[in-house]
Chain A
Amino acid sequence: GAGVSQTPSNKVTEKGKYVELRCDPISGHTALYWYRQSLGQGPEFLIYFQGTGAADDSGLPNDRFFAVRPEGSVSTLKIQRTERGDSAVYLCASSLMGAPGGELFFGEGSRLTVL
């Protein structure tokens, strides 16, 4: 596709459930980022991939959060034992260049609501 695609666009789940959020970056973009954005806040860095490897995962809040990018393209953010505080919009972005330079192209986001 022409842009970054994220699915699902909306996810409502119950506390304690497992959730997967998918990101399909722009073709040819080697860098991929996951951010989390709460209402009225700036995007909060979670993890950055360069190719298949996580170059920086220092933003993952705890071990319930995990992300993979097995073939260097599509990435999946996995959240175990969801908590109400996990509710937010999860944004994925890709870039032709690695961090810290290079324009980020964002997807529309996946809105997660944990009841």
Chain B
Amino acid sequence: GQQVMQIPQYQHVQEGEDFTTYCNSSTTLSNIQWYKQRPGGHPVFLIQLVKSGEVKKQKRLTFQFGEAKKNSSLHITATQTTDVGTYFCAGPFIQGAQKLVFGQGTRLTINP
């Protein structure tokens, strides 16, 4: 079965609107990471969450790790055109495996 599901697959917003992407795992995670990939670019690390219920903020970005450590979210407040890109969660979604697996990503586009 699918180890990780990231939703939505696409999101189009007006500049200034908020945006949220969700990542759901079928297994309990030791940690979860978030990456951003600009069009034509490579993934760039944003943050890592480790603790149950952890919330971390980076300016307009808020990252949460669920209490059960099976889900996570990224929320962007008042989007700007520089937020355009695809946001991926990544984690050890396969229990016992060492590899870091990426979600399918949420592609964010913004109407200025």
Would A100 and B102 count as touching, CB distance under 8 A?
no
Report how many A-B pairs have Cβ atoms within 8 Å: 67
CB < 8 Å neighbour of A99 from B98, B102, B103, B107: B98
**Residue in A55, A99, A101, A106 whose CB lies within 8 Å of B48:** A101
Interface pair B100/A104, CB less than 8 Å apart: yes
CB distance from A6 to the nearest CB of B (A): 9
**Stretch in A13-21, A37-45, A65-73, A78-86 with 4+ CB within 8 Å of B:** A37-45
Once A48-B98, A55-B98 are accepted as A-B contacts, the answer to whether A106 and B104 lie under 8 Å apart by CB is: no
Q: Determine whether the beta carbon of A56 is less than 8 Å from that of B43.
A: no
CB pair A41 B91 closer than 8 Å: no
Number of chain A residues whose Cβ lies closer than 8 Å to a Cβ of chain B: 27
Which residue, B33, B91, B97, has most C-beta atoms of chain A within 10 A?
Answer: B97
Residues of B within 8 A of A35 (CB): 102
Q: Is the CB of B105 within 8 A of A42?
A: yes
Q: Complex formed: what's the CA distance from A78 to B11 in Å?
A: 37
Contact A42 B97 (CB under 8 A): no
Q: Which residue of A lies closest to B29 (CB)?
A: A100
Q: How far is the CA of A37 from the CA of B91 in the complex (A)?
A: 17
| Minimum CB distance partner of B97 in chain A | A56
Chain A residues closer than 8 Å to B99, beta-carbon distance:
33, 45, 48, 56, 58-59, 99-100
**Is A25 in contact with chain B by the CB < 8 A criterion?**
no
A33 CA / B97 CA spacing, docked (Å): 14
New A-B contacts (14) at CB < 8 Å, excluding given A99-B99, A100-B91:
A41-B104, A42-B103, A45-B100, A48-B99, A56-B97, A59-B99, A98-B98, A99-B92, A99-B98, A100-B92, A101-B50, A103-B45, A103-B48, A109-B42
Residues in B lying within 8 Å of A, measured CB to CB: 6, 30-31, 33, 35, 41-45, 48, 50, 88, 90-92, 97-105, 107
Write the residues of chain A forming the contact surface with B, with a CB cutoff of 8 angstroms: 33, 35, 40-45, 48, 55-56, 58-59, 91, 93, 98-109
